[in-house]
Amino acid sequence: MSADRAALDRAIERGEEEGGHVEFKERLTRAVHLADGRKESLAAQLRHRVLSGDGEATYVVGVTDDGGIAGIDPEAFSETMDVLSLLAEEAGAHIDDVETWSAGEDGLVGVATLREGAMLDTDDDHIVVGTAGHVDHGKSTLVGSLVTGSPDDGQGGTRAYLDVQPHEVERGLSADLSYGVYGFDDDGAIRMDNPDRKSDRAEVVREADRLVSFVDTVGHEPWLRTTIRGLVGQKLDYGLLVVAADDGPTKTTREHLGILLATELPTMVAITKTDLVADERVREVEREVERLLRNAERTPLLVGRHGVEAALDEISEQVVPIVGTSAVTMDGLATLDELFERLPKTAHDEGEFSMYVDRTYSVTGVGAVASGTVRSGSVEAGDELLLGPMADGSFREVEVRSIEMHYHRVDEASAGRIVGIALKGVKESAIERGMALLPRDADPEPVREFDAEVMVLNHPTRIGEGYEPVVHLETVSEAAAFYPDEGRLLPGDTGTARVRFKFRPYLVEEGQRFVFREGSSKGVGTVTDVRPE
């Protein structure tokens, strides 16, 4: 909710004028304002306001015709925004931004900015890259320099563009997933002047023909669970593992590489901080990374030696390109630009819509929002969906109010897009990470236990009956009991096991891959059979 009322005061002071771009509305309802020809009349009025403002109109909601502050309750405000969005669509415009302020005990007043033109057409090319690597190896700094085109100050200054919590900025550590975006058109890269401004991100999304989104994960060991969520729970196209030239591969580097490769994600390695060391040290780290990849039965490809074309032709689950970079001197970033501009989109399921919820939040005037990466199919504003399973295994009917991608409202989102979906018919408190959104006519069955083929990557002794690690599957992070078919599994073993979630059911499908972890014990698995409740 906005604190500074300057925008509201300016709009009220300007007032409604016959040829002006400001319109006062106390509230709009579907029953009244979309019936009996009123929709066409109000859409024509909106179109007039937009044209009067040279492509921009201002609607003040929650005020009387003479500009008096009335205030309406949040549910009425949300319905008003829904109706205003439909009127804007009818008039060939869209809602670009909404600011709200408190009015009375439970009331709201808001200013909606409408702009000419339809909401973003999202048929552009769009790849999603997940970053990984040890703490202080420069993941966030590298991404910050890529999305802004600005060199780092040597102190991780560009990292601040991706740190999303105040304590992260203070400590210099990212404790949750962060997101960055930049793009390309025929003239080259489109970057953000200031990623802290949501309008800058929206502008990139609006202008670019090709988008590159980064899911920037966490390098600090205590937050490995969050990193696993970022790499397993997002619909990623590529992985980007960073290794600092002054430090070289670490235990965390090996763990993150193992997760990337276990999820069968095409991956590249960026050797960062090359400005801090001599050329011989860079070559030494390159050799260490090559050995690490060969030990994981992967083929390293030095882009500096073999060229970008070779990297584009060869990158796969088996071939891993390696690029030397410095966010301070910007060395190697042009190479990454060329790779990200030309790398093909990996295949995504174009069947029925599905999305696992990764984050939830509540927006004043909008309501509950579920964010995540669209896993398959596509979704549009107005679609009726199922949300769940709930703790009791049921699914709840909800409706899509609106969809937002990198702070830009869109009318549709397809597989691979990172989006926030505003939902009608549910409170934010009822939505949990790990739930799924599906079409209303789907017939999903909650899964409490399933069979899987598992590989134990690391374990101090043996995995026996009832072993309880945390399973990371899509965005699900839940304790589960393992029951190996042979009674036990030893480190390095591959075998089958029955897996049962400890507390509640989830949506689980055959073929899904997962990571499990408990202390220093880690492994990967593939669902082979589900056992519906």
CA separation, residue 192 to residues 97, 129, 161, 200, 204 (Å): 19, 18, 10, 6, 7
Of 74, 97, 116, the residue at which a domain comes to its end is: 116
Instruction: Kindly give, in sequence order, each residue whose CB lies less than 8 Å from that of residue 27, ignoring residues fewer than 6 positions away.
Output: 61, 62, 72, 76, 77, 79, 80
Q: Are residues 226 and 202 in the same domain?
A: yes
Beta bridge partners of 25: 61
Task: Give a yes or no: residue 1 inside a domain.
Answer: no
Cα atoms in the Cβ-side hemisphere of radius 13 Å centred on 432: 15
* Residue 395: per-residue pLDDT: 96
Task: Give a yes or no: residue 406 inside a domain.
Answer: yes
CATH number, domain containing residue 136 = 3.40.50.300
Of 286, 317, 342, the residue at which a domain comes to its end is: 342
* Residue 207: per-residue pLDDT: 81
Answer whether 72's CB lies under 8 Å from 62's CB: yes
Q: Are residues 367 and 399 in the same domain?
A: yes
Alpha-carbon distance 147 to 129, whole Å? 13
AA letter at 212: V
Phi and psi at residue 399, to the nearest 5°: -130, 145
Overall domain count for the chain: 4
* Residue 449: per-residue pLDDT: 94
Q: Are residues 158 and 267 in the same domain?
A: yes
- The overall longest dimension of the chain from CA atoms, in Å, is 80
Give the domain range for residue 422. 354-439
Q: Are residues 326 and 413 in the same domain?
A: no
Task: Give a yes or no: residue 112 inside a domain.
Answer: yes
Tell me if residue 244 falls in helix, strand or coil.
strand
Model confidence, pTM: 0.58
Task: Give a yes or no: residue 347 inside a domain.
Answer: no
Alpha-carbon distance 466 to 482, whole Å? 5
CATH number, domain containing residue 421 = 2.40.30.10
Q: Are residues 507 and 412 in the same domain?
A: no
Mean pLDDT by 10 residues, the chain (533 residues): 72 81 91 85 91 90 88 85 83 81 83 74 66 85 89 66 36 38 88 67 76 63 41 68 94 81 84 96 96 92 95 92 96 95 75 88 78 87 94 94 74 81 91 94 94 75 80 89 82 82 94 79 83 61
1 closest CA partner among 65, 59, 66, 74:
74
Q: Are residues 320 and 467 in the same domain?
A: no
Across 343-475, the runs of DSSP E, i.e. the strands, are: 354-356, 359-363, 367-376, 378-380, 384-388, 396-405, 408-410, 412-414, 418-424, 436-439, 447-458, 463-464, 470-473
143 closest CA partner among 195, 108, 92:
195
Residue pointed to by tokens 């220093």: 520
Answer whether 234's CB lies under 8 Å from 358's CB: yes
Phi and psi at residue 414, to the nearest 5°: -115, 180
Alpha-carbon distance 132 to 126, whole Å? 20
AA letter at 91: A
Of 116, 137, 167, the residue at which a domain comes to its end is: 116
Q: Are residues 160 and 142 in the same domain?
A: yes
Task: Give a yes or no: residue 142 inside a domain.
Answer: yes
Taken as a whole, the chain contains a residue count of 533
Task: Give a yes or no: residue 289 inside a domain.
Answer: yes
Task: Give a yes or no: residue 348 inside a domain.
Answer: no
Q: Are residues 288 and 221 in the same domain?
A: yes
Q: Are residues 166 and 279 in the same domain?
A: yes
Instruction: Kindly give, in sequence order, each residue whose CB lies less than 8 Å from that of residue 141, ignoring residues fewer than 6 positions away.
Output: 152, 156, 157, 158, 159, 272, 327
* Residue 174: per-residue pLDDT: 26
Tell me if residue 454 falls in helix, strand or coil.
strand
Q: Are residues 150 and 256 in the same domain?
A: yes
Provide the Cα torsion 515, 517, 168, 335; round to 10°. -40
Buried b (16+ CB within 10 A) or exposed e, 222-261: ebbebbbbbbbbbbbbbbbbbbbbbbbbbebbbbbbbbbb
Task: Give a yes or no: residue 242 inside a domain.
Answer: yes
**What percent of the chain is helix, strand and coil (3-state, nearest 5)?**
25, 35, 35
Q: Are residues 167 and 235 in the same domain?
A: yes
CATH number, domain containing residue 85 = 3.30.110
Q: Are residues 425 and 483 in the same domain?
A: no
CA separation, residue 9 to residues 26, 46, 80, 111, 522 (Å): 16, 21, 20, 10, 57
Residue pointed to by tokens 């009608």: 424
Alpha-carbon distance 530 to 452, whole Å? 9
Tokens in use for 4?
């500074």
Tell me the chain's radius of gyration from C-alpha atoms: 25
